[in-house]
Amino acid sequence: MNKLRESGVGCHVGNVLVGALAYADDIALLAPTPQAMRHLLYICERYAKEFSIKFNADKSAWLYVTKSKHLGTCVPQFCIGGHMIKQTNEYVHLGHVISASLDDKADIWSKRNSL
């Protein structure tokens, strides 16, 4: 987390840098551009190599969060440890459904249905 923070790469909310959120072994990377995301992933790969750990691309996913309905013609690709990370429109992180459409409907339905 220190190496990610020290990079200065991530999304800025006012004067606050938000590039990585973590809880135990769950990490969420936030980046404003595909190039910034690749840089954050590169930092994670270097760390993994240095400390002999492995990030599991099969348990990972990436979201393109936008208000637009269209991703565009060029869909970026991301990988970690030489393995592709799948793209998704929704992802469950720490029990909450995060949606690429920036709405909370799926998370609210999930919580409601668990009652």
State what percent of residues in the chain have pLDDT above 90.
Answer: 53
3-state secondary structure the chain: CHHHHHHCCCEEECCEEECEEEECCEEEECCCCHHHHHHHHHHHHHHHHHHCCCCCHHHCEECCCCCCCCCCCCCCCEEECCEEEEECCEEEECCEEEECCCCCHHHHHHHHHHC
Q: Give the confidence band of 114 by pLDDT, cuts at 50, 70, 90.
A: confident
Listed by start position, the domains of the chain span: 2-114
Query: How far is residue 77's CA from residue 87's CA, in Å, rounded to a whole number?
Result: 8
Average pLDDT of the residues of the chain: 88
